[in-house]
Amino acid sequence: MDIVYIRDLRIETIIGIYDWEREVKQTVSLDLEMAHDIRKAGETDDIQYALNYKSIAKRLIAFIEGSEFLLVERMAEEVAAIVLNEFSVPWLKLRVSKPGALRGSKDVGILIQRGVKPEGVAV
């Protein structure tokens, strides 16, 4: 099994538990690693056999921009469910971070894995 990835997908949204966070949009950054067998796409050069990362990114941007989560944990669970269920991805690793959320730190966030990890996928 191969990995298709999206790195540092930045999206503006309302997220956080503090009053001021409910009033201003903040940037969240997503890194996704998604299990997908790319051999048929590689052999045929046909997009129908590829995992369409542009479609995934557009779906997640629209979803997150329209959301107002309190916690990044909840956002991560919802994002993982979308990718697993709507794009038939069997396994993913997802990093959700809030750049600049903690003074003195580049970013803070969480890293989750969901789905069934296929044989041969290194974590």
User: Which candidate in 40, 98, 106, 117 is catalytic?
Assistant: 98
Q: Do the beta carbons of residue 90 and residue 54 sit within 8 Å?
A: no
Please classify residue 40 by burial: count the beta carbons closer than 10 Å to its beta carbon, then call 0-12 exposed, 13-18 middle and 19+ buried: exposed
Enumerate helices (H) and strands (E) in the chain, giving the number of each.
3, 5
CA distance 86 to 59: 10
Residue 98 is among the residues annotated as catalytic for this protein? yes
Extended beta strands in the chain, E state: 2-15, 26-36, 68-69, 91-99, 107-115
- Active-site residue list: 98
